[in-house]
Amino acid sequence: MSGSMDIAEIERLLYDEADCLDRADLDAWIELYTDDGTYWMPVMPDQESPVDHISLFYDDRVLMEVRRRNMNHPRSPSKEYPIRCSHIIANVRVTEEAADACTVTSNFHCLMFYNDKQTMFGGRYTHELVRQQDRLMIRHKRVDLINCDAALNSLIIYL
Amino acid sequence: MHYSNEQIAELVQPTRLHKNVYIDPDVFDLEMQRIWGNAWIYIGHDSQVANAGDYITLNYGKMPVVMVRDRNEQVHVLHNRCGHKGAKVVDQPCGRVGAFRCCYHGWTFKLDGTLAGVPHLSGYEGTGFDKSDPQYSMQKITSASHRGFVFATLNPNPPDLRTWMGGAADVMDNLCDRAPEGEIEAAGGVLRYEHECNWKLFLENLNDTMHPMIVHQSVVDSAVDYIKTLPEDSPRRDEAEIIPPFGASYEVFEATGITGFKYGHHYDGGKTSIHSNYSVDPDYEKAMIDAYGPERTREILTFNTHNTLYYPSLTIKSAIQNIRVVRPVAVDRTIIETWSFRLKGAPESMLRRTLLYSRLINANGSMVGPDDLTAYFRVQQGLQSSGSDWVEMHRNFGRDEDLGDRLKNTGTSDLDMRTQYAAWKHYMMEVA
């Protein structure tokens, strides 16, 4: 790989993010995103727009900040159950690269235990990464679930 | 168990409901037969089948059906069942065809469901098989529409759709009148959300204004806390108008009022609702005034309701332009669909706000819907208890104001429950 992006560094960031989500630690997770960072989970395969079509999630920093506080609030009925996840990320590939930015796709499986039920999620991540003040950060993450258009149950945490 | 009319009547009493209403699979089967079999059930919006041959598929109760537009602009609701061996004919959620063709033996059907072709027909000669007999077609279900909203019913003698809707039709009219061109169209896709609870728990929550400040306290606190950290001159965000009203006081909800109608329909709001303090996009306001004049525009935009239920299958938010559709699956499993609508002639910002609302409040990944669902799920679990057989609904009992075609009470009353269960009893007691 050429340029300033090192695959090991990229993978380390993806694993760090997965680790925050495994522990449902949104305080640490949000620090991995740039101030203009966004998180998107479309409801259709190949969905083009997060704002002209309904999505399962589309959060910018403002909604991430609200969600982070909500996750830690003692009075959210859906957060009364522990959320335990185990993410596995593989097939990490850099698909676009510029001087201080790159786009990375990967496959993921996430096993989630929540409210006495174990659920398997899987699909593809697309991360847009950018180097800011010497640190690789996430500017955009797109999560394409393979069953995004199924009648899913509640999604309590980012995947 | 088998339920006699007397036993059904016992389940629904003026101020309490028997738990079997929610947890007995036999009650659920009866509901599918008698409520889903007799009420007008929402199928879809005719903008979803804008051109000849356009179709959508869905389940009507437990039955697969297809809504399709034929070459004469007529919209039909058909049983999605081949007249031959009963195979489901159409299996895509939506699409466009010239005719329907069964994947099994190639029987074909016209867009109005009529059987068109049977391969190797000679084998039927002299067997008594009559190709023109409607039983071999994809049979029609009685359907009717109001402002593009298509309903169907299995009732052989249904009340006229408009009569059945009663005063609740005002809200559907208001939703469409909010379009400068007076018409709306489905846009921005559908969100399907599995609810592990009885379908009625979702309906009962629509005008339950005693829960938001409890169930949604966390998201309201979180949004308000975060907004406080922002500088004064931060740009206006729709989220800041949409989320906080869910934490409004009992007094605010009390003042919105609930209005109930025959056949189980009801809405909360009218003059005020949790949507009434939203900013109005100046471009939208201008388009409205150009179309309707200032007086009528004011009239349309100040009729402000929150949720309106067309019992049992459709609930709409006129002020937000989204709808939710109830598709029961089993006694403890329901699919809720959220659809958003474009106001024809309005700036795209209006559709974007609708989609933002659907995503913030109704989506599986939102911070509102999952907390509601947890509460329904807990009711479904708790009702297994033998601690009591009854669920209570006393709030403001005996104080419903009877205005002839409608009942009114304060926004925190259980008038919505009483309205729904009067209809439930009406349908469930009616033996075909």
Reported as a single tens digit per residue, the pLDDT across A126-142 is 999 999 989 999 999 99
* Interface probe, candidates B59, B196, B218, B372, chain A, greatest A C-beta count within 10 A: B218
State the alpha helices, DSSP H only, in B153-249: 161-165, 169-177, 199-206, 212-215, 217-229, 239-242
pLDDT at residue B430 in the model:
66
Question: Do residues B196 and A153 make contact, with C-beta atoms less than 8 angstroms apart?
Answer: yes
CA distance B139 to B115: 9
Q: B375 at the A interface (CB within 8 A)?
A: yes
- End-to-end C-alpha distance for chain A, whole angstroms: 28
ipTM of the complex: 0.96
Q: Nearest-5° angle of CA A77, CA A83, CA A85?
A: 155
- Give the pairing of strands A135-145 and A33-42: parallel
Q: A44 at the B interface (CB within 8 A)?
A: yes
CATH pick for A7-145 out of 3.40.50.10190, 3.10.450.50, 3.40.50.410, 2.40.170.20: 3.10.450.50
Query: What is the DSSP code string of A55-74?
Result: EEEEE-HHHHHHHHHHHT-T
Q: With contacts defined as CB-CB under 8 Å, which chain A residues touch B211? A: none
Compute the nearest-CA separation of B242 from chain A (Å): 13
Give the number of other CB atoms < 10 A from CB of residue A11: 14
The reply to whether residue A52 touches residue B359, judged by beta carbons under 8 angstroms, is no
* Mean pLDDT on A61-79: 95
pLDDT at residue A2 in the model:
46
Compute the nearest-CA separation of A116 from chain B (Å): 13
CA distance B241 to B235: 13
CA distance A79 to A82: 7
Question: Do residues B41 and B152 make contact, with C-beta atoms less than 8 angstroms apart?
Answer: yes
What does the DSSP 8-state code read for residue B91?
-
Q: With contacts defined as CB-CB under 8 Å, which chain A residues touch B359? A: 54-58
Query: What is the DSSP code string of B45-72?
Result: EGGGG-STTEEEEEEETTEEEEEEE-TT
CATH topology for B41-153 is Rieske Iron-sulfur Protein (2.102.10)
Packing angle, helices B199-206 and B415-429, rounded to 10: 140
Q: Residue B282 burial (CB < 10 Å; 0-12/13-18/19+)?
A: exposed
The residues, ordered by sequence, that sit 6+ positions from B361 with a Cβ below 8 Å of its Cβ are B242, B246, B368, B369
- End-to-end C-alpha distance for chain B, whole angstroms: 19
Nearest CA in chain B to A62: B226
CA distance A141 to A50: 12
Residues B165/B151/B305/B277 CA torsion (nearest 10 deg):
-160
List chain B domain ranges: 41-153, 169-429
Nearest CA in chain A to B211: A77
CATH topology for B169-429 is Naphthalene 1,2-dioxygenase Alpha Subunit; Chain A, domain 1 (3.90.380)
CA distance B366 to B222: 13
The long-range contacts involving A11-15, CB below 8 angstroms and separated by at least 24 positions, are: A11/A89, A11/A92, A13/A127, A13/A129, A13/A136, A13/A137, A13/A138, A14/A89, A14/A92, A14/A104, A14/A106, A14/A125, A14/A127, A15/A89
Stated length of chain A: 159
Compute the nearest-CA separation of A67 from chain B (Å): 7
Q: What is the pLDDT along chain B (432 residues), one digit of tens a residue?
A: 789 999 999 999 999 999 999 999 999 999 999 999 999 999 999 999 999 999 999 999 889 999 999 999 999 999 999 999 999 999 999 999 999 999 999 999 999 999 999 999 999 999 999 999 999 999 999 999 999 999 999 999 999 999 999 999 999 999 999 999 999 999 999 999 999 999 999 999 999 999 999 999 999 999 999 999 999 898 889 999 999 999 999 999 999 999 999 999 999 999 889 998 999 999 999 999 999 999 999 999 999 999 999 999 999 999 999 999 999 999 999 999 999 999 999 999 999 999 999 999 999 999 999 999 999 999 999 999 999 999 999 999 999 999 999 999 999 999 999 999 999 999 999 665
Q: With contacts defined as CB-CB under 8 Å, which chain B residues touch A70? A: 218-219, 222, 367
The reply to whether residue B222 touches residue A80, judged by beta carbons under 8 angstroms, is no
CA-to-CA dists, residue B332 to A99, A154, B378, angstroms: 54, 16, 12
Q: With contacts defined as CB-CB under 8 Å, which chain A residues touch B191? A: 43, 54, 56
Q: A35 at the B interface (CB within 8 A)?
A: no
Q: A73 at the B interface (CB within 8 A)?
A: yes
Residue A1 scores a pLDDT above 70? no
Segment 49-68 of chain A within 8 Å of chain B by CB: 51-58, 62-63, 65-68
CA B290 distance to own-chain centroid: 31
Q: With contacts defined as CB-CB under 8 Å, which chain B residues touch A151? A: 192-194, 335
Handedness of CA B286, B275, B196, B59 (dihedral sign): negative
For A18-134, strand residue ranges (E) read: 33-42, 55-59, 83-97, 101-114, 117-132
Compute the nearest-CA separation of B75 from chain A (Å): 26
What does R_g of chain B's alpha carbons equal in angstroms? 23
Nearest CA in chain B to A157: B365
* Interface probe, candidates B359, B360, B362, B372, chain A, greatest A C-beta count within 10 A: B359
List chain A domain ranges: 7-145
What does the DSSP 8-state code read for residue B387?
S
Question: Do residues B142 and B154 make contact, with C-beta atoms less than 8 angstroms apart?
Answer: yes
Q: What is the pLDDT of residues A42-63, one digit of tens each?
A: 999 999 999 999 999 999 999 9
